[in-house]
Amino acid sequence: MRYRVLGGTGIEVSVQCLGTMMFGAIGNPDHDDCARIIHAALDQGINFIDTADMYSAGESEEIVGKALKGRRDEVVLATKVHFPMGGGPNRGGNSRRWIVREVEESLRRLGTDWIDLYQVHRPDHRTDVEETLSVLTDLVREGKIRAFGCSTFPAEEIVEAQVVAERRGLGRFRTEQPPYSLLARGVERSVLPVARRYGMGVLVWGPLASGFLTGRNRKGRPIDMTSGRAALTPGRFDPSLPLTATKLDAVEALVEVADGLGCTLPELALAFPAAHPAVTSVIIGPRTMEQLEASLKGASLVLDDASLDRVDEIVPPGFDLYHPDGAWVSPHLSPAARRRPELDRPAAG
C-alpha cells in the first residue's frame, strides 16, 4: 500500500480509502461481516476510512465504530454532515445549530472522542459559508475534530470558502471529495486545479462509475437488473438509451487498455484517479469481502504515460460522459432561479 500526505494536514493516508456507504441497510446489513471487511482492509495497509452520518441513517457509523474498538489509533477516520437526519426542519444543512448537534451524534455512533476529518457533504445555499467555517473552526479548537473539508463542492464555492476563511481568520477546508472516474472527468477542468492551488487533499468517490467499470456490464451482454446499482437505478443501465450505449462503447475500449496492461478493468479504473497529481486517495466502497479483495489489487498499479494517453483518446480530459449519480447540481439552473417573479412581468394585453 502506498501513502500520501493529506493536503497540508501532515496526516499520511493510504492511496485507497475504505468507503462505508454500503455498510448497513442500504447494502450489507450483516454487522459482523462488515467488521471483517474493515479489519481485512486495515490488515492490508489501508489506514483511511470514510463514512457519513446519513449512510443507512447512521447505521454505517455505528458499524465502523464497533469495528474500530481497539484499533482506533491506527485509523484516519472521516465522516460527513449535511443531509437530513429524520423529519422536521433544522435537522440537516450546514448551519451552526445543526453541525454542533450532529457532530455529537456522529461521535457517539462512532464510539470515539475525535474525528480526524469532518466533511461538509454538500453546499448549503441557505447558510452563509462564514457561519459553517466558524463552527468547524470552533470544533477543531474544542478537539472534537482534527481537520475539516468539503465534499462535491463546485470550484467557485471552494474558492469562496478559502477567501472567506482568510479574510475572517477562520480555519479552512483542507480537503475536497469529488466524483472522478474514467467516464466522468469533469473535475479535471477546475475542481482539481483549484484544490492543488490551495494545497487541499483530494479523496475521490465513484471510481467505478456506478458499476459501469466493474467489468460486469458489457456491450451486447445481458445486464443484471436485480443487484447492485442497476437494481437501485435501473433507468441508468437501460442499454436501449443512447447515453448507456455511449458508456458501454467506452467500456469496451477501456477493456482493451486494461488487457494491454495485463490487469482487470476495475484495477485500471481504481489506478486512473490515483495517477492525477491532485488526488491523494481513491475511495473504494465494497459491499463484500470479494469486492474488497478485487479493489485492493488496483492499489499498487501505476499507469504509464502511454496508457494514460490511450485513455485520453477514449474519454477526453475534463469531459463527463454522464453526470455522476449524486454529483452537485447548481440550484441556479432551476426554473425558479432562471425566471423573474410574476409581479415583474408586464400585464397581458
Region 227-246: mean pLDDT is: 72
Confidence class for position 267, pLDDT limits 50, 70, 90 = very high
Nearest residue to 71 via CA among 43, 44, 51, 107: 43
Model pLDDT, residue 87:
86
Model pLDDT, residue 35:
98
Residue 36: inside a domain, yes or no?
A: yes
Q: Taking a C-beta distance cutoff of 8 angstroms, is the pair 59, 20 a contact?
A: no
- Cα→Cα distances 92→25, 122, 228, 233, 270, Å: 21, 11, 28, 25, 32
Residue 248: inside a domain, yes or no?
A: yes
Q: Report pLDDT digits (tens) over 96-133.
A: 999 999 999 999 999 999 999 999 999 999 999 999 99
The domain of 234 spans: 3-334
- Better pLDDT: 72 or 297: 72
Nearest residue to 217 via CA among 233, 205, 203, 201: 233
Q: Classify residue 220 by burial, with Cβ atoms within 10 Å: 0-12, 13-18, 19+.
A: exposed
Residue 104: inside a domain, yes or no?
A: yes
Q: How far apart are CA 72 and CA 348, in angstroms?
A: 68
Model pLDDT, residue 249:
93
Region 5-16: mean pLDDT is: 97
Residue 340: inside a domain, yes or no?
A: no
Q: How far apart are CA 51 and CA 24, in angstroms?
A: 11
Can you tell me which residue has the cell 464555492?
A: 157
The chain-wide mean pLDDT, for the chain, equals 93
Model pLDDT, residue 342:
65
Q: Checking DSSP bridges between strand 201-204 and strand 281-284, what pairing results, if any?
A: parallel
Model pLDDT, residue 344:
64
Residue 342's identity, in one-letter code, is E
Region 28-34: mean pLDDT is: 98
* 225 pLDDT higher than 60: no
Q: Which residues pair with 48 in a beta bridge?
A: 76
**Which sign does the torsion angle of CA 297, 43, 52, 231 carry?**
positive
Confidence class for position 343, pLDDT limits 50, 70, 90 = low
Model pLDDT, residue 339:
82
Model pLDDT, residue 347:
60
Confidence class for position 334, pLDDT limits 50, 70, 90 = confident
Model pLDDT, residue 262:
95
Residue 341: inside a domain, yes or no?
A: no
Model pLDDT, residue 180:
97
How crowded is residue 148: how many other Cβ atoms within 10 Å of its Cβ?
25
User: Comparing 61-65, 250-254, 278-282, 331-335, which segment has the lowest mean pLDDT?
Assistant: 331-335
Q: How far apart are CA 74 and CA 164, in angstroms?
A: 34
- Better pLDDT: 255 or 88: 255
Region 243-270: mean pLDDT is: 95
Model pLDDT, residue 154:
96
Give the residue numbers marked as catalytic: 55
Model pLDDT, residue 228:
58
* 233 pLDDT higher than 70: no
Q: Could you give the number of structural domains in the chain?
A: 1
Q: How far apart are CA 24 and CA 237, in angstroms?
A: 24
Q: How far apart are CA 55 and CA 83, in angstroms?
A: 10
Model pLDDT, residue 345:
60
Residue 276: inside a domain, yes or no?
A: yes
The full 3-state SS of the chain, as one line of letters, equals CCEEECCCCCCEEECEEEECCCECCCCECCHHHHHHHHHHHHHCCCCEEECCCCHHHHHHHHHHHHHCCCCHHHCEEEEEECCCCCCCCCCCCCCHHHHHHHHHHHHHHHCCCCEEEEEECCCCCCCCHHHHHHHHHHHHHCCCEEEEEEECCCHHHHHHHHHHHHHHCCCCCCEEECECCCCECHHHCCHHHHHHHCCCEEEEECCCHHHCCCCCCCCCCCCCCCCHHHHHCHHHHCCCCHHHHHHHHHHHHHHHHHHHHCCCHHHHHHHHHHCCCCCCEEEECCCCHHHHHHHHCCCCCCCCHHHHHHHHHHCCCCCECCCCCCCCCCHHHCHHHHCCCHHHCCCCC
Q: How far apart are CA 108 and CA 194, in angstroms?
A: 34
**Which sign does the torsion angle of CA 266, 19, 126, 132 carry?**
negative
Confidence class for position 86, pLDDT limits 50, 70, 90 = confident
Q: What is the CATH number of the domain that holds 107?
A: 3.20.20.100
Residue 339: inside a domain, yes or no?
A: no
Q: How far apart are CA 301 and CA 154, in angstroms?
A: 29
Residue 310, C-beta contacts closer than 8 angstroms, at least 6 positions apart:
257, 260
Residue 348: inside a domain, yes or no?
A: no
